[in-house]
Structure 1
């Protein structure tokens, strides 16, 4: 990943913020939570941003509600209070949010729109999930809906609505119908993107505000890059 493209407190793309939550547009390469790489996670960047903006001394509270794979981009929600975190966690776990993704794929999908149902089995050693048509031991049911939004010169833009939130779900399920995501070597695309990203973007999220109880819809602009720019 090119470190110049990572989020910092000075270039953070904030899509929504109030006293209860902050929603940011993750760049490809940002890691949501710390892992074995030791790279600074997005959660720490957001804490720095809050500390500076609101002149907060001491530790800043920030709860990680959900994650996006490192090479993907788009909407990530963080909670600014423990009450908001508990409510958001429940909402995400009970699928009370609507998540819409954009995916750029190499091949035309078999149908212009369809629902995909698989059983995903995760292989932790490979950090990969395999899509099975029938249930296999230790697999989890995975459902998504896709539709073709646009034909590009060399690719196809799909809109994906998730019904379940499984490990690498979109990547694995689209790959299983011959629609590997651009740049995604792990799931069958033939070459990587120069910056190590994949063309999968968490585009739109609709949820009930954890405290004010009103519905909010947040959209994230796609990365400023040639193929994404052709999608808009």
Structure 2
């Protein structure tokens, strides 16, 4: 078994975009099944209705039934758990940052914005496309994904290990499944995290209405068990820089767990972190946060450290990466704001 975003065990929880239609400004209210019949070639209405019943038709990122009335401006998407066409794995000459490579594996420091593997509306320009150009014969995991032992989100930066042989794939995947690999992330989260360190436990599964999100089921009645250990690195006023170590590897684990405890990742659009969640109502502060969003136009999450036992030498290898420039600039901006705010507060108290 091998793993999903931010972790290990690959799960049947990702969705591939088959169709996407934005209703025009002149669109009169129309049932979504009838609406899609006008846009999907060779569509059969009962199949569209069945897709809706199974939760595969989405309007504005929310699953809808076949009787939903499409309105002007609605974004209608058809999402399934399999790719829309098979031949997605095309080698592409794309730049990738390889920090280590030998005969059986390589470690890549992925840039933010690069999708790890084709699918879900991204069928080219992915890390896998680049790796297939660099290495001709990559082993596949049980989901037919070449080289992938684990993966991280498109807008998460950081370290990934890639297997180059079947034996390495099996050996490395076992470590992720048995939780013996080492993975540390750094994240900026909204709010002042009160505890210096702590552990978040709670099953993670698909959100009941927005399947592009994961959510926490604390009673364990749904989803899969997930454990995240966190530690405060630096307090920066209305946000906190933290370290997260994964004991499990569920899709969006850090993003879902941190939101669950009230500390959504900074500028995490999918989970609501692109809004001002903590701070003042002053216009000056609002402008400051908007400028910080511009510096870091993605969720503030970086896979900083990766450790594992080498499949051949059996030595433990640990790799560390620098915080990328966009995140570093954002942290420094908040650091200066926090210092200035503390100075202003001190001066006002002394007057």
TM normalised by structure 2 equals 0.57
Show CA shifts across 1:39-73 (max 9, x none).
3210221232x35xxxxxxx332511111011111
23 and 129 in structure 1: CA distance in 2 versus 1, 3 angstrom threshold: same
CA deviations over 1:90-143 (Å, ceiling 9, x no partner): 11111110110101112111312111111212238522111132222x321111
Q: 1:231 Cα shift?
A: 9.5
Q: Is residue 120–residue 141 contact of structure 1 (8 Å, CA) maintained in 2?
A: yes
Secondary structure (helix, strand or coil) at the match of 1:100 reads: strand
- Partner-residue secondary structure (3-state), 1:43: helix
Unaligned ranges ≥5, structure 2: 1-91, 139-145, 276-289, 336-351
Match of 2:255 among 166, 171, 182: 171
Compared CA separation, residues 186 and 36, structure 1 to 2 (3 A): closer
Paired residue for 1:91, among 157, 170, 175? 175
Q: How far did 1:154 drift?
A: 4.9
Distance in 2, Cα, partners of 1:95 & 1:231:
34
User: For structure 1, which segment, 144-153 or 188-197, has the greater mean C-alpha deviation from structure 2 after superposition?
Assistant: 188-197
Shift of 1:207: 0.7
Q: Equivalents in 1 of 2:99, 2:93: separation in Å?
A: 14
**Who is 1:202 aligned against?**
303
Rounded to whole Å, the distance in 2 between the matches of 1:45 and 1:66 is 16
Secondary structure class of the residue paired with 1:204: strand
Q: Which residue of 1 aligns with 2:219?
A: 134
**Structure 1 residues 27, 110: CA separation in 2 closer, same or farther (over 3 Å shift)?**
same
Q: Which residue does 1:217 correspond to in 2? A: 318
Q: Where in structure 1 are there 5+ consecutive unaligned residues?
A: 1-7, 52-58
Contact 1:109 1:178 in 2 (8 A): no
Counting only pairs closer than 5 Å after superposition, residues 129-168 of structure 1 correspond to structure 2 as: 129-136=214-221, 138-152=222-236, 154-168=238-252
Higher relative contact order (CA 8 A, sep 6+): 1
CA drift of 1:184 comes to 0.4
Q: CA deviation at 1:11?
A: 4.0
TM-align CA RMSD: 2.4
Determine if contact 1:98/1:205 at 8 Å carries over to the other structure.
Answer: yes
Q: Which residue of 1 aligns with 2:330?
A: 227
Q: Deviations over 1:173-229 (max 9, x none)?
A: 101111111110222213494474211111101110011100000112221121256
Task: Give secondary structure in 1 for the equivalent of 2:325.
Answer: coil
Deviates more, 1:222-231 or 1:116-125: 222-231
- Give the Cα–Cα distance (whole angstroms) in 2 for the partners of residues 158 and 90 of structure 1: 28
Give the number of aligned pairs.
216
Distance 1:22 1:129, change over 3 A: same
Task: Give the whole-Å Cα distance in 1 for the aligned partners of 2:156 and 2:128.
Answer: 16
Q: Is the 8 A contact 2:190 2:239 kept in 1?
A: yes
Q: Distance in 1 between matches of 2:152 and 2:199?
A: 22
SS at 2:117 equivalent: coil
Contact 1:152 1:230 in 2 (8 A): no
Residue 22 (structure 1) aligned with residue 97 (structure 2): no
Which structure features the higher share of strand residues? 1
1:157-180 Cα offsets, whole Å, 9 max, x none, are: 100011111111100110111111
**Structure in which a larger fraction of residues adopt helix:** 2
